[in-house]
Amino acid sequence: MRSLRQLLSSIQSRPKAHLALAFVVVSNHFGAVALAAGPAVLEIASPAQAICGPDAGCATRAVGTSRSTLSLPAGTAQCADSGPSAACDMDSPAVTAGTSSTPVGLSVCEAVDGKPVAATPASCAGELLSPDAQAASPVVGDRPIVAPSVPQVTLGSRLPDKITLSAGDQAVRAGKPVVLTAAANASVTGTDRAIEIFDITTGRLAGACAQGSQCSVAYTATSGVHEFGAFVTTPAATVPGSSVSLPSNHVSVGWLDSTITADRTAVGPGQPVTITVTSTFDVRPSGRWLEIYDLTAGARITYCSRGTVCTTTVRQPSDGVHQIVGYVTGKPEAVSTPINVTWLRVHLTASSIGSNTAGWVHLKATTNADLTDTGWVLGIYDQRGHLVDHVCRTGTTCSVQSWVEGSATPAYTAVVGALPAPPPRSTLIGKVVGAVTDSVAPSLVDVQARSGAVEPAHLLWGVDSCKAFTGDPTGELFSATVAKIGTPEFWGRYLTDTVCPGISSAEVALAARHHMGILPIYNEYNCSNVSYYDTGHAYAVEAADAARRIGIPRGIVLVIDIEPPGAACPGAVDVDGAFIEGWYDGVKAAGYVPGYYGNGTAGSEFASAWCASVSKRPAIAADSELWSFQPSLLGDFNKPTAPGYSPYDTGCTGNMEIWQYVLSAGSVPDVDQDEALSTAPLWYPS
């Protein structure tokens, strides 16, 4: 049985579940068709899953999920013999005329002189005039005498008295051709008649043959059920009446397609989204089901056993992006283009740059959906409920600055909601209020998502090194660093022995004595092999195992060292988004925080791969930390002369928490210099 993985391979690289369908055979106006004995059953490990069929009761929880809930859209009724909270309707799609073409492998039926048959790409067969006979015919006057390919006595002596029409398929996907064949029991060659095939539903002439006893044409339509009939008739451009023609039986062919829409594409957790899927013909007569399927959850949401429209209202109690499709079961099946529905989340970071008593606070709010054209805006408010700077109406991020002074520590909250409707501008107060709200918005209404209150992070100064900062044979690096450039507040060190030694228990003990944070780094290779999901995931498993052996608790960042290709690392290759996903999944599953060291410059090899991965999976951006080695500055820096925090940004969503602003290049002491926001989840051994 075909799996949903195969069915959706063109639109989902990593589907979550398979469909299994059971069939019996019935007859209807399509002929013999496959009728599913029940709706698609999902092969997923969920003890609470409800399998709903025509004879089974259905819970109001979506199949295969433990948290999402369904309800009937307002003003609708439960669809009979269907899934939970599914409403169905018959909204007949527009049935437009199709297009004709010559069946594959056949040639166009030639016209016959003097017989006014409309030119079509139909092909004919059976008792045709012989081209050789026509070429050898004598000429009388200006017209040849045509020698027939069948005995003369049979020509003109008998018209067909029976014609049948057949179709190669009773149901096909939209845009695919069906071959229609009309066969008469006598040839129309040498008569004033033609065999013509009409799309009765639209009145279109599909094919016409001036000779022979069989006429075939390929017909392609985009939607709906089309009824066809064939006729032996004097040539006609419109469907002839029975008094002037010999009619055939009628056949029906359905062209199948599915579409999906949502009334809203971004809402807060617990808020409703009404999803509607459509089929281009009623699914009930053909024994099909019209399903709403969640690719992200790997589960059917609900289904309808009849009609052309199936709709339900879905609520998700937690944030997340769900890719959803409409799916018409059967053979052939039809899958709609996916839509993304996001239950919103907003994350806020705040960092202070300045003195202890006054300075700017840099604020960055990030959502898991692009708010452009959603009707929602993103604003950041201080502890007094005042909007900081302005609201953001587009994109996934909102960056503003707030000036603070005094001893009190401020707190900020990011909010996604709607702007309140201003008073009519026809009044004086409306003009005044409208002018103000164009630049500074009041409190948002219909709030969809809200971050927790965040206090500004302060800036930490630190270093990273290949050498051990204590116990190295070349000397005590920690004491040399303190004496030469300052006392680090954190130190970046490697988890395992590679080209650099892994961090030792002596280093962990020294960090604990000095209340110094550890920034754990993983690099188990000479030059970065940073392609493919499996590679990233395997590294993550090794890094997490090493972290546990060292005693690093869950919740601490583990950073993968992604070196760029170049002279210093000729074996390196460009990082790809799949590697980033693999590291994220492996580290996250182990309970640690995924971190990435790379070139933060927008458009760089790392930034491009990063943006591709977070566009596909926004949670990666929200739940990971970035460490940029750009810009890499030249100069004689130390702790007192460290630059203001300004790492290059990837150009898309991400928590840029750490900046390596100077490479050691063999300096004394041999350490790189870094800055980090205090929100970075470093390890402080005790």
288-299: pLDDT as tens digits: 999 999 999 999
pLDDT of residue 95: 87
- Average pLDDT, stretch 531-548? 95
Q: What distance in Å separates the CA atoms of residue 605 and residue 530, rounded to the nearest whole number? A: 11
pLDDT above 70 (res 152): no
Percent of the chain with pLDDT over 90: 66
Question: Alpha-carbon torsion 530, 536, 540, 542, what sign?
Answer: negative
pLDDT above 50 (res 477): yes
- Average pLDDT, stretch 545-561? 97
Those residues whose C-beta lies under 8 Å from the C-beta of residue 535, and which sit 6 or more positions away, are 529, 579, 582
Q: What distance in Å separates the CA atoms of residue 123 and residue 206, rounded to the nearest whole number? A: 12
Burial (Cβ within 10 Å: 0-12, 13-18, ≥19) of residue 28 = middle
* 8 Å CB contact between 98 and 220: yes
pLDDT of residue 422: 76
Query: In which residue are the tokens 């925090």 written?
Result: 645
Element at 60 (helix H, strand E): none
Q: Structure tokens of 121?
A: 């790409």
Written out in words, the top-level CATH class of the domain with range 99-256 is mainly beta
pLDDT of residue 242: 82
Same-fold call for 4-94+257-343 versus 460-677 = no
pLDDT of residue 26: 29
Give the three-class secondary structure for 132. helix
Q: Across the chain, which distance is largest between two alpha carbons, in Å? A: 119
| Cα separations in angstroms, 519 against 125, 444, 458, 526 | 81, 39, 17, 20
Q: What distance in Å separates the CA atoms of residue 398 and residue 600, rounded to the nearest whole number? A: 19
- CATH 3.40.50.10490 is the classification of domain 4-94+257-343: no
* 8 Å CB contact between 83 and 303: yes
- Average pLDDT, stretch 354-362? 70
Q: DSSP character for 554?
A: T
CB atoms within 10 A of CB 649: 19
Indicate the CATH number for domain 460-677.
Answer: 3.20.20.80
- Average pLDDT, stretch 596-606? 94
> What is the residue extent of each domain of the chain?
4-94+257-343, 99-256, 346-450, 460-677
pLDDT band for position 566 (50/70/90)?
Answer: confident
- Average pLDDT, stretch 475-492? 96
pLDDT of residue 355: 53
pLDDT above 50 (res 337): yes
Q: Structure tokens of 318?
A: 């937690």
Task: Walk across the sheet containing 346-354 and list its strands.
Answer: 346-354, 358-367, 397-405
Q: Structure tokens of 629?
A: 């080695």
Q: What distance in Å separates the CA atoms of residue 223 and residue 221, rounded to the nearest whole number? A: 6
pLDDT above 60 (res 137): no
pLDDT of residue 572: 64
- Average pLDDT, stretch 634-639? 92
* 8 Å CB contact between 495 and 540: no
Q: DSSP character for 154?
A: G
Q: What distance in Å separates the CA atoms of residue 188 and residue 128, rounded to the nearest whole number? A: 9
Query: In which residue are the tokens 């939209």 written?
Result: 174
